[in-house]
Structure 1
Amino acid sequence: MAEAHQAVGFQFTVRPDGVDFKLSQEVIKNIYLSGVTAWKKKAIQFKNGVLAGVYPASPSSWLIVVIAMMSSLYIHIDLSMGMMDTIKENLPYRDCMSVQTRAVLSAILFATGLWLFLIYLLRYTLKALLSYHGWIFESHGKMSTSTKVWLCLVKMFSGRRPLLYSFQASLPRLPVPSVDDTIHRYLESVRPLLDNEQYNKMELLASDFKENKAAQLQRCLILKSWWATNYVSDWWEEYIYLRGRSPIMVNSNFYIMDLLYVTPTHRQAARAGNVVHAMLQYRRKLERGELAPLRALGTVPMCSTQMERMFNTTRIPGIETDFVQHLTDRKHLVVFHKGRFFQVWLYTGGRHLLPSELETQFQRILNDTSEPQPGELKLAALTAGYRYIQTKNTLKKQARIKYFSQGINKVSLDAIESAAFFLTLDDEPQGYDPAKTNSLDSYAKSLLHGKCYDRWFDKSFTLISYPNGKMGVNVEHSWADAPIVGHMWEYILATDCFHLGYTEEGHCKGDVNKNLPHPTRLQWQIPNECQNVIETSYLSAKQIADDVDFHGYLFAEFGKGLIKKCRTSPDAFIQLALQLAQFRDQHVFCLTYESSMTRMFRDGRTETVRSCTSEAVAFVRAMEDAGNVCQLALFRKAAEKHQNMYRLAMTGSGIDRHLFCLYIVSKYLGVDSPFLTKVLSEPWKLSTSQTPQQQLNLVDINKFPKYVCGGGGFGPVADDGYGVSYIIVGENLITFHISSKFSSPDTDSYRFGQHIQKAMLDIQALFKPENDKTAQNAKYVHLENGKKHI
């Protein structure tokens, strides 16, 4: 009862002689501190907004320009070339001001206008510089003089100490490629996959499209590129994600794993407490724009737009399309444990709950023995099944309107959808265990789909905490791509392990505050008819989850360090190994999807690299021919081709996003295009993605080699294909996450993992004589130097 009394700000009792008020000083103090914190936050956001708004200039530069103009009045040098006199003569109410006042005011107004002009000049100069992408096509380790000059200019115009959103106004727009270039590259990409007859038919379709329909569609697309900040991203979000009616669990959502070899504490509540507190710290930096922007080469800025919706975001289901609801500054978290939903407040007295306080709250939930309410256990399955399902009497969308639009159900649903994020306190341990063969497989499946009702798949992300102290994240895909969440997760793990830490007993550091109000149990009144809809959604989701064949594989024979000694790109090396593994597994080549980013442009997201090239096919066939002596030469040619395609995709000259947008325009205009229809219907039987490491400065892997993340993965894209995600960890480890479907007789994730291992080793063997020769030369030089030294 003590907590209940503290939760009341004031009490009053009506007596015959009047009304007796009793105020709780503790609550009044907390209200005051919350108000102070809120105003401080607004002030900081306003300040950082101003700093980002005038970047690359600074507010102090305005004062310098004003002083310069004011000084010119006293030395009788008109730097404005008569413009200040014109302003002075046209000031309103000038008759009410003295001559000196008008002169000062005109100088201030001219200086402000000049300052704003210079800001826009700097921005557009920087935008013009950032539109140059020649640097990315230069050979690794070699930089031309023009690129060096360009880099110096970019650094000079980039200002100092940029905030997260400082470069947004200076990022160039994503260019629209020419139709001729896109079609040429498309035909080149499908040539190794089609026989002569099929290729000739595709050429005819492409030629007909280019001659008769492309020009009209291209004009509309160019017009959109002038009007919108990005001609792809809004349509990509709407038509690829939000209009999809199939379940987002497995098919769209993806996951990220915890540290592979280290578990900072085995206490579930303590680990969750530290991680949630670190997330709150990250959210505060994010909302204030205080995070450093990600920059290629440490200089070229990347777009940060996607990060805005990381917290307080939910995908709201609809009949024909969903929409992304993003709120601001939500102060609570919803926790799921053993079929119950709890609301946990994240602030007290105007500050974040400390890790020890969060641990206390989560431990209270773990200790709670109450039973789920009718229909509550599998309620979250509504976010796992089809976006629009029809039962005998009820539509899923209608069920939401009918049963969750009023009363306590609406209050509870609003609490979930408006929460900062969703936390699941799982009851089954997971994590990588070298002693267990399938531990990584089980861990991945748990993160990807769980029990189909213990993650809220519509939330921007669900944080998952296991009883053995392991963690993980399940992420809804529409609002952002994997590197965005990966950036946060890198910060969280480093903060948890190296800044917050734990006591010797494994608890969070800090005093334990037992006077916090207990977590609030969300209440539901779910009738039988609605429970039937929940069960239908659960059964469809479970069928999908049970069909996922997952295999996690740690490739530790060599890593980025050795690949770089081979003077080739690690990504190209792995992609060609995947092509070799795919051919050995399926005995045919297939359309291959590799995701690349376009964040060097405003609001950029991703582009496709079609990794199955004619050069890759020639290399793979040579590898299967034991007598072929040109294998290494063909590998280098295929790797160079892949790197060039990746660079084209990053710089806005990809194939698939352009064709996708042309297809959308054709549908709006009612233009039928067999060519575009054919292109958009082609299946990606091998879908691949690399999880990048973006903040290498957070953890020194050489000093702490065990503190490496396992990366993340996603479900299979095609019913008879593979999904492969990989992360290059440090110099000596590559982690593969392989998915397929049990229902396909042609695929097997474990088998494909074995093929990847053999392909990696076979390619590395091509370089062995070359590396041995290099090593021998190095040894000889070392000995010669030694003799000279002696």
Structure 2
Amino acid sequence: PNPITAAPAMAVPSKLLKPVSLTKVASRYLIHQDSLPKLPVPELRQTCQRYLAVLEPLVSDEELEHTRTLVADFMVPGGVGERLQKGLERRARKMDNWLSDWWLQSAYLEFRMPVVVYSSPGVVLPRAEFQDRQGQMRYAAKLIAGVLDFKTKIDNGTLPVEYMVGKPLCMNQYYQILSSCRIPGPKRDMVVNHSLGKAPPTHVTVVHNYQFFVLDVYNSDGTPLTVDQIYMQLEKIWNSSLQTNKEPIGILTSQHRNTWGKAYANLIKDKTNKESVRAIQKSIFIVCLDAPMPRASDEMYRSRVAVQMLHGGGSRWNSGNRWFDKTLQFIIGEDGSCGLIYEHAPAEGPPIMSLVDHVVEYTKKSEMVRSPMIPLPMPQKLRFNITPETKKDIEKAKQNMNILVQDLEMKVIVFSHFGKNVPKSYKMSPDAFIQIALQLAYFRMYHVCCSTYESASLRMFRLGRTDTIRSTSMDSLRFAQAMDDPTKTKVALLQKAVNAHRVYTDMAIRGQAIDRHLLGLKLQAIEDLTSMPEIFMDTSYAVALHYSLSTSQVSAKTDCVMCYGPVVPDGYGVCYNSMQEHINFSVSAFNSCAETNAAKLARGLEEALLDMRALLEQTPKAKL
């Protein structure tokens, strides 16, 4: 869904924006939530048949035949599949959403790789028009004020409900992105949201030179600070954090989750440390004031900013200037590079981009001159006592972060030849058009197709998160095979491939895709303590879940792009924002894999898009 952006607020005295009590909001929010349908449990036979169709382009005939036998056994009347299906249906009747808790646990909180690169997406914003510290502070102050303005809409329930294909969407994720934080555990993490307590937080955390500060952003009467007041407070923070010889305590959050879980337990044994960590976790969001990164050519600039947003550039640069567990961190470099990184457990991209659209518009507004200035207390610096053990943990985290930084290849491109306008002029879905171009680019590189993940929003349903759009189909494979064969007629195959993708997308957003249903059946088997059904132990299932292409369309009104790492060692992470007349892409891969090359796939994607347009231009529209 296209994130909505609220119309820019007129300059009004800030006391009119006083947050309203939560009870008033809750009723309005709950009325909307209760009116949303529950996520359905698809029919077992339908999912099994669609699963076999998904496997057809991915596995050999022999493997497919073997899987067909397993699926037939699974579906036998009165058999294991039917029993698990009934269990799922019972769960669906009892719960608001049969999937959301399981998904949060299995996809995020039990995932033990670092959140950096492997899970948390970054967002590159348009380059800001400043080149110095004053500009950096001024922009940061406006950005903070913009987020607080959006927070007021969340607090008093004036966020417009979003719609997709005419249906209202679940707005729950908007209530999860501020004042929340992930907390590491030895084997499983948790997410804590502080905005729903009796005394919601009134501060943001500001990090500069690896030092953390509590910045109160509300006056005692509940009104937010003005841009000028925030600016003056940021100046105080900057001036009292000039020494750079501090331990980068934040880099601990970049570790493997079990490692960080142990280090965390050690760290918070100390009372001062525990209080400092708690202040960071409770804050509304974090603002990272970054040191400038090494200069890069204009062509390389966006790719370099993308990695700054994703991991901070390593221990020599800004990786210690973060707290990666925090749901929302805005990053503002002294050189005008701006963006954010978010911890993925509480929310998907669209609510984040909606907030981004609002904030970017807000920073463009001319400021009101306000006086008189009331002197404000000095922001509180958070203290940490570093034991030899924590010092050792920090050194290890630095080493691991630097290895990860060296390993990630990131390519951000602006495809300037066309945007949504061209596919739309041929009555084709722009998203489907881009996905088929990606299939073509991958096929040209490897001469096979691969399991491809595109996230589909399930927000038409109460507490809905995502399901998988399977972009690889027999239709996409036939088109990719035919494209470079001069004997084949290709336009009809392109149309079929685009249409197959559109049909699968429609099925996914209506809760009828296969991936979350199969996951649910598998988790139901674990919960019932029965032996694992053979279809989940089958090679075909492993192939289906090995996403060499992990992709996402994240639409925003702002000319930005989201980026993230691959989800498998030999795969790619591809994210795109298609604007009217251009498309922003990010492509990532790991250097440690000899077979992958992000720059090459990005070039191949550009060629595929141009070749597909040329193909359409050669065919009279009447024949399309």
Q: Same fold (TM over 0.5)?
A: yes
Q: What's 2:473 paired with? A: 613
SS at match of 2:521: helix
Partner of 1:284: 152
Q: Check if 1:208 corresponds to 2:73.
A: yes
Tell whether 2:251 aligns with 1:381. yes
Tell me the secondary structure at the aligned position of residue 102 of structure 2.
Answer: helix
Q: Does 1:346 align with 2:217?
A: yes
Whether 2:490 is the aligned partner of 1:625: answer no
| 1:292 CA displacement | 0.6
- Counterpart check, 1:439 vs 2:301: yes
- Preserved CA contact (<8 Å) 1:385 1:538: no
Match of 1:582 among 438, 442, 446: 442
Whether contact under 8 Å (2:210, 2:250) holds in the other structure is no
Instruction: Give, in angstroms, the shift of residue 319 of structure 1.
Output: 1.0
Counterpart residue type for residue 405 of structure 2: A
Q: Residues 250 and 545 of structure 1 are in contact (CA less than 8 Å); yes or no, is this contact kept in structure 2?
A: no
After superposition, the Cα gap between the structure-2 partners of 1:290 and 1:677, relative to the gap in structure 1 and judged at 3 Å, is farther
| Residues in 2 aligned to 1:768 and 1:522: alpha-carbon distance in whole angstroms | 61
Deviation string 1:118-141 (CA, Å, 9 cap, x unpaired) is: xxxxxxxxxxxxxxxxxxxxxxxx
Shift of residue 529 of structure 1? 1.2
Counterpart check, 1:263 vs 2:263: no
Match of 1:420 among 263, 272, 284: 284
User: Residue 329 of structure 2: SS of its match in structure 1?
Assistant: strand
Amino acid at match of 1:444: A
- Within the alignment, does 1:727 sit opposite 2:577 as a pair? yes
Aligned 1:384-783 pairs, distance under 5 A: 384-389=254-259, 396-428=260-292, 436-450=298-312, 451=314, 452-497=319-364, 499=365, 501=366, 509-511=369-371, 513=373, 515-628=375-488, 630-670=489-529, 671-678=531-538, 679=541, 682-693=545-556, 708-729=558-579, 731-770=580-619
Write the deviation string for residues 735-754 of structure 1: whole angstroms up to 9, x where unpaired. 11000000111111111111
Aligned equivalent of 1:159: none
Q: Distance in 2 between the 1:522 and 1:309 partners?
A: 25
**Secondary structure of the structure 1 residue equivalent to 2:158:** coil
Counterpart amino acid of 2:274?
Answer: K
Shifted more, 765-774 versus 589-598: the winner is 765-774
Higher relative contact order (CA 8 A, sep 6+): 2
Check the 8 A contact 1:192/1:613 in 2, yes or no.
yes
The one-letter code of the counterpart of 1:660 is L
The 1:285–1:616 alpha-carbon spacing in structure 2 relative to 1, beyond 3 Å, is: same
Deviation at 1:718, TM superposition (A): 1.3
Partner SS for 1:425: strand
TM-score norm. by structure 2 comes to 0.91
CA-CA distance at 1:771 after TM superposition: 5.7
2:61 corresponds in structure 1 to 196
Matched residue, 2:236: 364
**Cα distance in 1 between the residues matched to 2:261 and 2:441:** 44
Give the 3-state SS of the residue equivalent to 1:724 in structure 2.
Answer: strand
What SS class does the counterpart of residue 642 from structure 1 fall into? helix
- How far off its partner does 1:680 sit? 5.3
Q: CA deviation at 1:552?
A: 0.3
Q: What do residues 234-279 of structure 1 show as CA deviations (whole Å, max 9, x unaligned)?
A: 100011100111111100000112125x637860000000000110
Is the 8 Å Cα contact of residues 20 and 155 (structure 2) preserved in structure 1?
no
Q: What TM-score do you get using the length of structure 1 for normalisation?
A: 0.72
3-state SS in 2 of match to 1:725: strand
Task: Decide whether aligned partners of structure 1 residues 574 and 623 sit closer, same or farther in structure 2, where only a CA change above 3 A counts.
Answer: same
Which has the larger share of helix? Answer: 1
1:183 to 29, 42, 48: 48
Amino acid at match of 2:616: F
Contact 1:338–1:377 under 8 Å retained in 2? no
CA shift at 1:567, angstroms? 1.6
C-alpha contact (below 8 Å) 1:269/1:362 kept by paired residues:
yes
Residues 412-465 of structure 1, C-alpha deviation per residue, up to 9 Å, x if partnerless?
11111111111110011599x8x5221111011000011332221100111101
Over 3 Å counting, the alpha-carbon distance change for 1:165 and 1:486 in structure 2 is farther
Q: CA deviation at 1:398?
A: 4.2
Q: Secondary structure at the match of 1:388?
A: helix
Q: CA 1:357/1:746 → structure 2, altered by over 3 Å: closer, same or farther?
A: same
- 1:336 counterpart SS class: strand
How far apart, CA to CA, are the structure 1 residues paired with 2:41 and 2:603? 41
- Note the aligned Cα RMSD (angstroms): 2.4
> Does the residue aligned with 2:455 lie in a helix, a strand or coil?
strand
The change in CA–CA distance for 1:587 and 1:509 in structure 2 (over 3 A counts) is farther
* 1:473-517 alpha-carbon deviations (Å, 9 max, x no partner): 1000001101111111111111111x3x35xxxxx8545847222
Amino acid of the residue matched to residue 169 of structure 2? M
Whole-Å separation in 1 of the counterparts to 2:485 and 2:267: 64
1:46 counterpart = 2:57: no
Shift of 1:42: 5.1
Q: 1:405, 1:528 → 2: CA distance?
A: 14
SS of the residue corresponding to residue 347 of structure 1 reads coil
Deviation at 1:542, TM superposition (A): 2.5
* Identical columns (%): 29
Aligned residue in 1 for 2:5: none
2:105 equivalent in structure 1: 238
- State how far apart, in whole Å, the 2-side matches of 1:745 and 1:401 are: 38
Deviation at 1:772, TM superposition (A): 7.8
Question: In the aligned structure 1, how far is the partner of 2:19 from the partner of 2:420?
Answer: 43
Question: Residue 770 of structure 1: SS of its match in structure 2?
Answer: coil
Superposition deviation, residue 534 in structure 1: 2.1
Residues 37 and 402 of structure 1: is their aligned pair in 2 closer, same or farther, counting only changes over 3 Å? farther
TM-fit CA distance, 1:399 = 3.8
Aligned to 1:16: none
Distance in 2 between the 1:168 and 1:640 partners? 32
Matches of 1:406 and 1:273 in 2, distance apart?
A: 33
Asked which structure has the greater CA Rg, the reply is: 1
State the Cα deviation string for residues 692-732 of structure 1 (Å, max 9, x = none): 23xx6xxxxxxxxxxx4222111111111111000111x20
Where does structure 1 lack aligned partners over 5 or more consecutive residues?
1-33, 53-163, 390-395, 503-507, 697-707, 775-790
For 1:272 and 1:456, the matched residues in 2 are separated by 18
Contact 1:572 1:639 in 2 (8 A): yes
Cα deviation digits, residues 554-611 of structure 1 (max 9, x gap): 0010111121111211111101100000011222211111111111111111110111
Range with bigger deviation, 717-726 or 356-365 = 356-365
Contact 2:203 2:217 in 1 (8 A): yes
